[in-house]
Structure 1
């Protein structure tokens, strides 16, 4: 695990979201929830772009969606599937989950539906998506590209961006801003830990959560 990923894993999505706010960066992927192996995901994005099958079947990819990204990935990587929010068919399935788990991939984020979630959970692969579905992608969706910049839940995600997911949500930190956003999130986390100890010591919460708390995401702080 690289130092950057270790720092990311030590945070939660709320602290990172606050840090993104402070730096004026949009990076929260809304509407996604843990559907298998409900645990944290932290790593660098490996992107997959899905879309409708081409009218000319001869132009369709000769391999199943997501397979190239899985084969190219490993520990410290997170597969991010741009499925345009589709819930009419799955953008991820069980055999992909088994392969991803075998390669040590940290988890999968799908902007759309996923299926075979029992298989993913049994394999220990964390899957965050919009909804479960039993409907296959075959004949409904194909891979248009992988390893390219995509749009997920209205947010641009590039290969190598940092991805963090936990029960609080899913956030993406652009690689170019990783150090500054992580440093800010770490500062916010430390500040909130001091506040939590004060509450535990009996300080009134109205005092603890005063003006300084409201300014935690202020870019001037």
Structure 2
């Protein structure tokens, strides 16, 4: 698993997104971007599902079990289902996540206490920030269960990569082939850059082959 994570961390989300495209696997979590301590994070998902308060009996304060279970090599993924009027993550949780050594946090919706997240050094990806508390508004339904993030299903243990271009999710059962394809794409693009630096025209470098670079080969 650590080898997979290290290989994933060496890539960027664009190459991985292209690999997912070429394999016909949806994986780009649109609308989520770095909002605290912009750095690349890679790891396996620990998931949390949030719902409206009153729809279920909350077993604990939201996200606390996931934070307690997190460790280096994990990414906490919070399914806040696009809510931007209320935070699904806050400052004390950020302190706990940093203490646990988690790689970072991805929230499909709003978060708060950004100044604290930045002060603590937590890398946080989300849709936006708001000051509004989750108290009596949203609660945790469950954790470490399949969730949906920006239209993408995330299972516990799936691979998460996030950087300046956004967030991608790689199903754990597809990680080997996605990494192989993404690394091939990176190698091809490195060769293209080499040719550009040597002065070759972009028209020649980005020939018709570029448009078909991601085409899947027939079995």
Local SS of the residue matching 2:108: strand
1:83 aligns with 2:74: no
Corresponding residue number in structure 2 for 1:185: 182
Local SS of the residue matching 2:26: coil
**1:157–1:174 Cα contact (<8 Å) kept:** yes
**1:15-26 matched pairs, under 5 angstroms:** 15-26=15-26
Corresponding residue number in structure 2 for 1:60: 58
1:154 aligns with 2:151: yes
Residues 11-31 of structure 1 show CA distances to partners (whole Å, capped at 9, x for unaligned) of 000000000001000000000
Local SS of the residue matching 1:28: coil
1:208 aligns with 2:205: yes
**1:18–1:216 Cα contact (<8 Å) kept:** no
Local SS of the residue matching 2:167: strand
Residues 68-120 of structure 1 show CA distances to partners (whole Å, capped at 9, x for unaligned) of 00101100000000001001100000110111011110000000000011111
1:41 aligns with 2:41: yes
CA RMSD of aligned residues (A): 1.2
How many angstroms does 1:201 deviate by?
0.6
Q: Distance in 1 between matches of 2:138 and 2:121?
A: 26
Relative to structure 1, the CA distance from residue 55 to residue 45 in structure 2 (aligned partners, 3 Å threshold; closer, same or farther) is closer
Query: Following TM superposition, where does structure 1 have runs of at least 4 consecutive aligned residues deviating by more than 2 angstroms?
Result: none
Q: Give the count of matched residue pairs.
A: 218
Corresponding residue number in structure 1 for 2:103: 106
Q: Under a length normalisation based on structure 2, what TM-score does the superposition of the two structures give?
A: 0.97
Residues 126-154 of structure 1 show CA distances to partners (whole Å, capped at 9, x for unaligned) of 11101110001001000000000001101
Stretch of structure 1 that moved more, 208-217 or 69-78:
208-217
Corresponding residue number in structure 1 for 2:163: 166
How many angstroms does 1:55 deviate by?
5.5
Q: Distance in 2 between matches of 1:206 and 1:145?
A: 52
Corresponding residue number in structure 2 for 1:219: 216
Q: Distance in 1 between matches of 2:155 and 2:177?
A: 18
Q: Distance in 2 between matches of 1:210 and 1:150?
A: 40
Corresponding residue number in structure 1 for 2:191: 194
Q: Distance in 1 between matches of 2:213 and 2:15?
A: 10
Q: Under a length normalisation based on structure 1, what TM-score does the superposition of the two structures give?
A: 0.96
Local SS of the residue matching 1:29: coil
Residues 143-180 of structure 1 show CA distances to partners (whole Å, capped at 9, x for unaligned) of 00000000110110000000000011110000010000
Residues 192-218 of structure 1 show CA distances to partners (whole Å, capped at 9, x for unaligned) of 001001101100011001122112211
Q: Distance in 2 between matches of 1:140 and 1:78?
A: 25
